[in-house]
Structure 1
Amino acid sequence: IRAAFAEKSHSTSFFKDTLLRLDIQGVNSTFDKMTLDRAIEVNLFGTLVRIGSVEDTLVNKILFQGEQDLRDALGILTRNRENLDFDYIRTTCKMLGIIHLFEQFLAESEKKI
């Protein structure tokens, strides 16, 4: 985790004997600050933690573009399509210069759903 923070990257932690995995990163950009401002609190094993909103998590997955990230993004889209704030997602993707990646992802997801 320290190396990821030093590199301004992220680290993934896996919880043994569960399906839970957490991506952990510092606040290194305007988008990271936006994500933190919109974060929600959840109880994780008795500890309150702040996690990114569904929309911010989806944008992060599109931004990172890893194979697992894109599978995660598809799962997020599939489970939350009806409730997603697509205006926020598109505005944020434009700000990050990845709107073309988001639109491509949406088009490809239509074939898989």
Structure 2
Amino acid sequence: MAQLIIGPRLYSCCNCRNHVSLHDDVISNSFQGRYGRALLFSHAMNIVAGPKQDKHLLTGLHTVCDVYCSDCLQVLGWKYERAYQQNQKYKEGKFVFENSKIVKENW
């Protein structure tokens, strides 16, 4: 009889299944990405960050960098480096992954 291995619920790159974040690190599931719905995470793993750039997003001016899967270099979303409005500071250091770019594992 096969043994069922139970691990943490996590999210992986939709392209190569590289693990990129844990479900426990989800802060919000009500974010808007470039291509639709997105999730805000407190931590990420197995990613590479691109250059920082200032962008005007729905909630104002932010310094962000695109975030790529470290294995296949698929763009997954972005990281907030700096928020210029006080009420947006909670996003600093957090990651947004597009729902269309990640898949659930161990659910």
Shorter-chain TM-score: which interval?
0.3 to 0.5
Higher helix share: 1
Give the TM-score normalised by the residue count of structure 2: 0.32
Higher relative contact order (CA 8 A, sep 6+): 2
Higher strand share: 2
